[in-house]
Amino acid sequence: MKKIGRIILLAFVGLAVIGTFYFLWQKSRPVITTYEFVSPKEDTVQTKTVATGKVEPRDEVLIKPQMSGIISELLKEAGQMVKEGEIIAKIKVIPEMVQLNSAESRVRVAQINLEQITASFKRDEDLYKQGVVAKEDYELSSSNFKKAKEEVENAEDALEIIREGISRRSTTASTTQVRSTITGMILDVPIKVGNSVIQSNTFNDGTTIASVADMGNMIFRGKVDETEVGRIHEGMTIKLTVGAMESRTFDAILEYVSPKGVEENGAVMFEIKAAIQIPDDAFIRAGYSANAEIVLKQANNVLTIPESTVEFSGDSAFVQLVKEEKPEQIFERHNIQVGLSDGIKIEVKEGLTVNDKVRGAVIDPKKK
């Protein structure tokens, strides 16, 4: 039994020695690296920049009241279409006591003055008929009588406006009726019935009753980094991607590039605006986030290869041109002239044809 055990032990030792030598022999063998072959092909190369921003109406108008008071009725709500001059809301006037007393006093004074001038006019009229008073004096008395009547009517109108916000002689131009100044869609109505509102005047911006905009005239407003702004200009075409609409794209024309930059988070950004061409079957809501893709340069139908296959040395570019494929891959360093690049593929101006092959990526031995 001891003899058999020794034989088995020696056999294991021998196998271990042989295995070690085989492993070391395999490790010492040179590794043959194989590469993929890449053929040049005709394609389009573009360099682009992307600006982030949002879509908004070109002109959004804030409707303000011309009289202070309380909202008594709202005739429109957000999302509805409105025409120019159409009533959006009505205001109930709360008169100030000082103005009210002053207006009432003016009416009383005007009536007293009218009574006095009326009596004087009747006397002059009778005397004129008798030929006692000259025609010139009669006409002057008649003019004063008409002015006194007009003053009473004006005072009464002023009192009605202070009390009700409207007079009998100006019902079509009532300041208690808030009307839209443009035709479009109501984007927001921030007030409710019962809210107090302040009129718009020289010293106060006033309370916003509603915001109205033409949703058929939309623009993209975004920002571009200072490193890219020098390569864009008005009139360039833009591809606008709106994420909220299942990443649908729209054509746009760049129409504004800000002449002044604003520093944000350590970078200088320039505002841009682009007019969006909206098809009839699309409805873009105000405030949608969007990305604008601007093509800076483009080369059409040019010979291209993956940029990863190009070696750069100073101002020169080289590729490993395939000389032999089998039984062993042989390559030759070949000078080429390159052009436009988009970071993935690069234009080849000189040095290659569509029939050539260049060395590509290393083929993983495990995938052979």
Q: Which domains does the chain have, with CATH numbers?
A: 35-44+301-367 (2.40.420.20), 49-57+215-299 (2.40.30.170), 60-93+176-213 (2.40.50.100), 97-171 (1.10.287.470)
Neighbours of 285 (CB within 10 A): 15
Q: What is the DSSP string of 173-192?
A: G-TTEEE-SSSEEEEE----
Any residues with CB less than 8 A from the CB of 302 and at least 6 apart, and which? Answer: 42, 43, 44, 45, 339, 340, 347, 348, 349
Check residue 330 and give its pLDDT: 78
pLDDT band at 174 (very low <50, low <70, confident <90, very high): low
- Tens of pLDDT, residues 305-317: 888 888 888 888 8
Closest CA to 175 of 255, 106, 236, 93: 93
Query: In this structure, which long-range contacts are made by residues 195-198, counting pairs with CB atoms below 8 Å and at least 24 apart in sequence?
Result: 195/70, 195/71, 196/68, 196/69, 196/70, 196/71, 197/65, 197/68, 197/69, 197/70, 197/71, 197/91, 198/65, 198/68
Burial class (CB in 10 A: 0-12, 13-18, 19+), 280: exposed
The highest-confidence range among 124-138, 145-159, 267-281, by mean pLDDT, is 267-281
CA-CA-CA-CA dihedral for 207, 212, 213, 215, to nearest 10:
140
**Cα–Cα distance measured from residue 163 to residue 177, given in angstroms and rounded to the nearest whole number:** 15
Say if CB 51 and CB 292 are below 8 A apart: yes
pLDDT, average across residues 17-29: 62
Check residue 81 and give its pLDDT: 93
Percent of the chain with pLDDT over 70: 86
- The residues facing 64 across adjacent strands are none
Tell me: cis bond preceding 65? Omega within 30 of 0 counts: no
**Cα–Cα distance measured from residue 75 to residue 296, given in angstroms and rounded to the nearest whole number:** 49
Check residue 2 and give its pLDDT: 63
pLDDT, average across residues 256-269: 90
What is the DSSP pairing of strand 248-257 with strand 69-74?
unpaired
pTM over 0.75: no
pLDDT band at 190 (very low <50, low <70, confident <90, very high): very high
**Cα–Cα distance measured from residue 165 to residue 96, given in angstroms and rounded to the nearest whole number:** 12
3-state SS assignment for residue 253: strand
- Mean pLDDT value across the chain: 82
